[in-house]
Amino acid sequence: MWFEQFYSGMITMAWVAGACYMSYPFNKWDVGRHYRRDYCTPARVALSQRDHRLTGNQYVVKGLEGIPEAQ
């Protein structure tokens, strides 16, 4: 019947929503922010790629001292 499908759909949506929103408390506890890294703009993506290229890890941020001098 239709109500059996309604309940299973609600349970499925609750599990999906739980999986989406469970990252918030763990990220807040681990790194102190809601999200690990913000990729909303192309400039932020370029900065992440730069950090990965300079340090080998996108979560280790280097400033100007991390950029090698031109010869």
pTM (2 decimals)? 0.42
To 5 degrees, how large is the angle CA 59–CA 65–CA 66? 45
Predicted confidence pLDDT, tens digits, the chain (71 residues): 777 788 888 999 999 998 888 888 888 888 777 776 667 788 888 888 888 888 888 777 777 776 777 76
What is the Cα–Cα distance from 60 to 52, expressed in whole angstroms?
8
